């Protein structure tokens, strides 16, 4: 089965083709960082307009790429949610229209399931059951993955997502959007130990997170010190350490609770090298193994949506009832991951 995947939930237009026999054939991404950078964050209306401009040329590109050589796909998977409504509508309407024109089935995919399955595009794919840490701009989730499609939420953030905390802290330090990579870069020059940030919600039981206090801590630290280059680097360093230590400690707790020897990390913050070092060390100490997507598939991309589409469509005797060949479609700004098993079958 050959699946065309379309991702447009936020500020990246991603299009890719996954083939069940040959693996990932081709993927393309149009990043909107330049559009949003001057506003310090994603402007939803501009994101939707950028998706409109990019999406058809990207689809043309992957279809005509020598790896696909103009072949019509067998199905189309598009991101149905969660995300920005206007942005989602672009990918969903293009995916649905192409499916209608080509007379092939289409299916709406949960963006976080896409992230969760992204490490399976690598040569050494993790086998369920495993624990998944999903850390993106909009979500921070600890998920018990007993099988593909069977997800139990163990913990989540009560306020800001990890990526959101990176973005907001970067902004208050005068660093550019997106904040995660910006903080990671300046933190390399930071002096360890000058500032010490709390590790929120680690000294009480449970697997939930809270990151908004760290952003406030960064703000008061910035206000109480002269904000020169070195101080910015020192705050970035202390903030990054606190976020990564907190995520690592909660992973340790969840691994102990589930007894799983495998950890899967995905989502934009999964590209953070300090986090990866800490999680590598943790898994070594537990005699377990950690799996990441390649760096470019940590952040939003079409490959993970094509792959998730394949996983949801495989084994169905007829593809036609997959999200139907019906013309109606909808997107979901909010969509809890653990409701998936029941409402997307
Ligand atoms: O998964 P993603 O591309 O989009 C969402 O689904 O939200 O994640 C984007 C988030 C942003 O908040 C960005 O600042 C963060 O991931 N991010 C990072 C790094 N690269 C991206 N955070 C920390 N360190 C990084 N290297
Ligand atoms: Zn994402």
CA distance 211 to 167: 12
Residue whose CA is closest, atom 22 of ligand 1? 180
DSSP string for residues in 232-245: HHHHHHHHHHHHHH
Q: Does the beta carbon of 136 lie inside 6 Å of ligand 1? A: yes
Specify the ligand 1 atom closest to the Cα of 266.
Answer: 1
Q: Does the beta carbon of 178 lie inside 6 Å of ligand 1? A: yes
CA of residue 228 to ligand 2 center, whole Å:
33
Q: Does the beta carbon of 83 lie inside 6 Å of ligand 1? A: no
CA of residue 80 to ligand 2 center, whole Å:
12
Using a 10 angstrom Cβ sphere, with 0-12 exposed, 13-18 middle and 19 or more buried, the burial of residue 203 is exposed
pLDDT digits (tens, 9 = 90+) for 163-188: 999 999 999 999 999 999 999 999 99
**Nearest ligand (C-alpha, residue 11):** 1
The model carries a pTM of 0.95
CA angle 126, 128, 130 (to 5 degrees): 85
CA of residue 299 to ligand 1 center, whole Å:
6
Specify the ligand 1 atom closest to the Cα of 170.
Answer: 14
Which pLDDT score, from 0 to 100, does residue 316 have?
Answer: 76
CA of residue 28 to ligand 1 center, whole Å:
18
Residues 6+ apart with CB under 8 A from 77: 3, 4, 5, 6, 95, 106, 107, 108, 109, 305, 306, 308, 309, 310, 312, 313
Which pLDDT score, from 0 to 100, does residue 340 have?
Answer: 86
Contact 134, 266 (CB under 8 A): yes
Report the DSSP beta bridge partners of residue 2.
19
CA of residue 50 to ligand 1 center, whole Å:
19
Q: Does the beta carbon of 244 lie inside 6 Å of ligand 1? A: no
Nearest-10 Cα torsion for 5, 9, 13, 19: -10
Q: Are strands 262-266 and 289-291 parallel, antiparallel or unpaired?
A: parallel
Residue whose CA is closest, atom 7 of ligand 1? 137
What order of strands is seen across the sheet that includes strand 140-147?
A: 150-156, 140-147, 130-135, 262-266, 289-291
Contact 34, 42 (CB under 8 A): no
Q: Does the beta carbon of 184 lie inside 6 Å of ligand 1? A: yes
Contact 4, 306 (CB under 8 A): yes
CA distance 81 to 332: 5
Q: Does the beta carbon of 270 lie inside 6 Å of ligand 1? A: no
- Candidates 30, 180, 296, 333: which one to mutate for ligand 1, based on the most atoms within 8 Å of Cβ? 180
Which pLDDT score, from 0 to 100, does residue 255 have?
Answer: 98
The radius of gyration of the chain's CA atoms, rounded to the nearest angstrom, is 20
Which pLDDT score, from 0 to 100, does residue 187 have?
Answer: 98
The token duo for 312 is 């949801």
Q: Which residues surround ligand 2, an ion (CB under 5 A)?
A: 136, 300
Specify the ligand 1 atom closest to the Cα of 12.
Answer: 3
CA angle 249, 124, 8 (to 5 degrees): 75
Which pLDDT score, from 0 to 100, does residue 321 have?
Answer: 46
Which residue ranges of the chain lie beneath pLDDT 70?
317-325, 342-345
Using a 10 angstrom Cβ sphere, with 0-12 exposed, 13-18 middle and 19 or more buried, the burial of residue 345 is exposed
């Amino acid at each position: 089965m050959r699946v065309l995947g379309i991702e447009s939930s936020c500020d990246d237009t991603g299009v890719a083709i996954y083939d069940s026999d040959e693996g990932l054939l081709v993927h393309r991404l149009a990043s909107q960082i330049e559009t949003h950078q001057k506003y310090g964050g994603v402007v939803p209306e501009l994101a939707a307009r950028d998706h409109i401009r990019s999406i058809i040329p990207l689809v043309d590109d992957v279809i005509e790429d020598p790896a696909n050589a103009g072949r019509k796909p067998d199905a189309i998977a598009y991101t149905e949610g969660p995300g920005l409504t206007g942005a989602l509508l672009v990918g969903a309407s293009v995916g649905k229209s192409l499916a209608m024109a080509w007379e092939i089935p289409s299916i709406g995919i949960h963006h976080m399931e896409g992230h969760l399955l992204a490490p399976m595009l690598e040569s050494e794919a993790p086998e369920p059951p495993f624990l998944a840490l999903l850390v993106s701009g909009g979500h921070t989730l600890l998920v018990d993955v007993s099988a593909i499609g069977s997800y139990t939420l163990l913990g989540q953030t009560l306020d800001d997502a990890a990526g959101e905390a990176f973005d907001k802290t970067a902004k208050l330090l005068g660093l550019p959007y997106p904040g995660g990579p910006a903080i990671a870069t300046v933190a390399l020059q930071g002096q360890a130990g000058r500032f010490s940030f709390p590790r929120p919600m680690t000294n009480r039981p449970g697997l939930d997170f809270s990151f908004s206090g760290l952003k406030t801590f960064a703000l008061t630290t910035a206000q109480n010190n002269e904000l020169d280059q070195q101080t910015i680097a020192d705050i970035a360093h202390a903030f990054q350490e606190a976020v990564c230590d907190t995520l690592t400690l909660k992973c340790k707790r969840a691994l102990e609770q589930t007894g799983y020897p495998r950890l899967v990390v995905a989502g934009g913050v999964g590209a953070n090298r300090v986090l990866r070092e800490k999680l590598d060390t943790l898994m070594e100490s537990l005699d377990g193994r950690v799996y990441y997507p390649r760096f470019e598939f940590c952040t939003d991309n079409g490959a993970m949506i094509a792959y998730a589409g394949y996983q949801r469509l495989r084994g169905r005797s007829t593809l036609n009832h997959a999200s139907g060949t019906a013309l109606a479609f909808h997107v979901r700004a909010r969509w809890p991951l653990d409701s998936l098993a029941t409402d997307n079958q």
